[in-house]
Amino acid sequence: MHKVERLSEEQARPILPKLVALLQDSVHSGSSVGFLPPLTFEAAKAYWLETLNEVAQGKRILLVSSEAGDVTGAVQLALVTKQNGLHRAEVQKLLVHTSFRNRGIARALMGAVEESARAVGRTLLVLDTEQGSIAEKLYEKCGYTRAGIIPQYARSADYSLISTVLFYKLL
């Protein structure tokens, strides 16, 4: 059965290799999620260890979807810690493994991330994504409002510069 769970740092540590594999899968299939291929196991592990550190400090929420022991996807909520932004959070690293795509898992993760945001009193969500990506359409379908486009924002796998679309949602 498929499930989405909020994981503590202790709960996430044992599945670290699976989280590494999830990130490598997305990067190696050409997604713009902060890294360029090839993404080594060590670099991906270092990223997740930093992420889990922030989860342990209460600065970040990690949601993981799984099915029969396989990690199928994940999403994070970075909780703004500035005094004047405690109502705000950024949705980051929505990832669904290529073997499990187009089955509604991203939708389920986005629903769960909203629920988690509400539960911790965050009423404004922001995010950005590559212009023209599947995720851009997905966020619109999830009720996010397009705030604007920044050109030449990030480098893609083929080293060209791509634009990013900024979105927000008031809960």
User: Which residues here bind ligand COA, judged by CB under 6 A?
Assistant: 26, 31, 33, 94-96, 101-107, 129, 133-135, 138, 141
Between 8 and 98, name the residue whose CB sits nearer to ligand COA.
98
State which residue has the least CB distance to ligand COA. 106
Shortest spacing between CB 102 and ligand COA, in angstroms? 4
By CB atoms closer than 10 A (0-12, 13-18, 19+), residue 13 is: middle
Between 20 and 105, name the residue whose CB sits nearer to ligand COA.
105
Between 86 and 150, name the residue whose CB sits nearer to ligand COA.
150
d(CA 166, CA 171): 17
H or E segment and range at residue 6: strand 2-7
Shortest spacing between CB 43 and ligand COA, in angstroms? 17
Cβ-based neighbour number of residue 16 at 10 Å: 14
Between 11 and 131, name the residue whose CB sits nearer to ligand COA.
131
Torsion from C-alpha of 26, 32, 36, 40, nearest 10 degrees = -30
